[in-house]
Amino acid sequence: MARKMLIDGELSKPGEEEAHYDFDLFVIGAGSGGVRASRFSAQYGAKVAICELPFDPIGSEVSGGVGGTCVLRGCVPKKILVYGAAYGPELEDAKNYGWEVNENVNFNWKKLLHKKTEEIVRLNGIYKRLLSNAGVKLFEGEGRVVGPNEVELIQLDGTKISYSAKHILIATGSRAHRPDIPGQELAITSDEALSLEELPKRAVILGGGYIAVEFASIWRGMGSTVDLCFRKELPLRGFDDEMRAVVARNLEGRGITMHPCTTLTKLEKAEGGIKVHTDHGEVILADVVLVATGRLPNTKRLNLDAVGVELDNMKAVKVDEYSRTNIPSIWAIGDVTNRMNLTPVALMEGTCFAKTVFGGKPTKPDYSHIPCAVFCIPPLSVVGFSEEQAIEQINGEVSVYTSSFNPMKNTISGRTEKSVMKLLVDAQTDKVIGASMCGPDAPEIMQACIFCFTAAYDLLGIAVALKCGATKEQFDSTVGIHPSAAEEFVTMRSESRRISSNKPKTNL
């Protein structure tokens, strides 16, 4: 297949003299984005190689695995543990539905851990086969950039070999950050949390983001005592404040002890566990301390400074809107660029890279209206603007529609935990500009549950609706599925309130 490749921003011309390279593309990092970019580039006819560190469930500077963080020590194994944790409360709820559940129900952590490991090993093999079937050459070892068109591969036996490539793509992702506090070596990160030999009876978690609230839900659902410490008044900074409050209320309602406006000052080994000191003078005894205070771009060992690739102050690779660095032959996608650190975004960036460089169709990633979910129990899912973002970015008034209700399942089980839904509408254009939900199945509902039969839309989810510019009138004209929670999104007729850009900002 003939290939069209960008040369200094211009597509190559037929018959143009080109230097010989071992590969058209060499990718460093075989996570979701790197694998996608490799496969799609190969489908355009490029000769592609990719390198990745050897597989290990717990990542480090010298271990990794084909599939990357999401598949091996992130989204996938975490979701498996979320499923496992959800069964505990479900068994309790089942009693009012007539199930005579034995009071002595035991949870076998080691069995779930074994099943989780089996699954990520299976997925690691699938990702390797995807590369092989696409004709991508896979090298196991550590890759370093040693020139604009040269990658050095440090093989497993320590020997080094160099390969030349017309284009180099950096897709090495990110690693968990450890805060600089005395005794931090006693703490674990999410990598280790997914592979603990024993389920902790007492856990302290530092952080208020995705990972922190998800592991709080996981361990609490499995019966552990959980203390969640975070710096702000509410967890999940950056999300809609109203929905953050809902999540906090739900976490507390499920028995998690919340410590807002709190950080840890010291960890020390003690008889029977770890003494955790907070900045409020509290001392908590724990079996495990999880630090979930963010992630840092994985650029430390890539030799990028020596080659002249520009990094930002977080050591993320700086790229233009096409994912190209300041070195024309070197590109970067995914978390290593610290743009929008989500697996589906890395996949999108990988697709756009392949189209741009080898498909003859320069394509910029589109970061508007990207949905996301937090898999706490129950989960939160959002797309579009939060209320606070709408105040900042919309000129004029925004109509807010909310619905808070007891899910039908809870009316029998007796669980007092409400689902909350929210729509934001540009009052001038009637366009829906934001949607949020906290409740059972929120991610599935947000992505693809609503059918809008209009001239503009076929099978349509909330995320697709916003992307296509759906109006509130079109939501209202859609027939819902009854009885379902999802139908609330098309039956919220009454405006809860109207806001404008002069509303005071919060600091939650």
**Residue 143, marked binder:** yes
Percent helix, percent strand, percent coil in the chain, to nearest 5 = 30, 25, 40
In whole angstroms, what is the distance from residue 200 CA to residue 358 CA? 49
**Residue 334, marked binder:** no
Beta strands across the sheet bearing 273-278: 264-270, 273-278, 283-286
How many of the other CB atoms lie within 10 Å of CB of 156?
11
Burial letters 472-495, b for 16+ CB under 10 A, else e? bebbeebebeeeebbbbbbebeee
In whole angstroms, what is the distance from residue 57 CA to residue 241 CA? 35
In whole angstroms, what is the distance from residue 334 CA to residue 414 CA? 43
Strand 225-229, strand 257-259: pairing:
parallel
**Residue 294, marked binder:** yes
Instruction: Name which of 411, 418, 377, 99 is nearest 222 in CA terms.
Output: 377
Give 320-376 as a DSSP string. -TTSB-SSTTEEE-GGGG-SS--HHHHHHHHHHHHHHHTBS-------TT--EEE-S
**Residue 160, marked binder:** no
In whole angstroms, what is the distance from residue 445 CA to residue 486 CA? 6
Residue 44 φ/ψ region, left for φ over 0, alpha for ψ in the -120 to 50 degree band, beta for the rest: alpha
**Residues shown for the chain:** 508
Burial letters 348-375, b for 16+ CB under 10 A, else e? bbbbbbbbbbbbeeebebeeebbbbbbb
**Residue 335, marked binder:** yes
**Residue 494, marked binder:** no
Read off the DSSP letter of residue 58.
S
Burial of 164 (0-12, 13-18, 19+ CB in 10 A): middle
Query: Which residues fall within 8 angstroms of residue 147, CB to CB, at 6 or more apart?
Result: 307
In whole angstroms, what is the distance from residue 81 CA to residue 68 CA? 18
Active site residue 114: no
Cα–Cα–Cα angle for 395, 398, 404, nearest 5°?
Answer: 155
**Residue 173, marked binder:** yes
In whole angstroms, what is the distance from residue 506 CA to residue 245 CA? 13
| Catalytic option among 20, 114, 177, 482 | 482
What are the binding residues for FAD? 79, 143, 172-174, 335
What are the binding residues? 79, 143, 172-174, 207-214, 294, 335
Active-site annotation, residues: 482
What are the binding residues for NAD(+)? 207-214, 294
